[in-house]
Amino acid sequence: MSANTLVLIACIAVAAVLLLGLANMMRGGSANVSQKLMRLRVLLQFIAIVVIMGVVWWRSA
């Protein structure tokens, strides 16, 4: 698996959870589900940043 693929997967995961959260909010879903999705999105964003920074570091070496 290439570095570009890892970055793409991380970004798609963040976008998917964001869209799920927005869909839940727009249909008036549970606040607990919204809160869990927001926490998951923050965790996935952290992972995505770590992956991106790792790829940048690896390519500059």
CB distance 20 to 37 below 8 Å: yes
CB distance 40 to 15 below 8 Å: no
Report how far residue 40's alpha carbon sits from residue 31's, in angstroms, rounded to the nearest whole number: 14
**Tokens 């965790």 sit on residue:** 43
- Residue 61: the pLDDT is 79
Give 10-residue mean pLDDT values along the chain (61 residues).
Answer: 92 97 93 94 97 94 79
Report how far residue 22's alpha carbon sits from residue 16's, in angstroms, rounded to the nearest whole number: 10
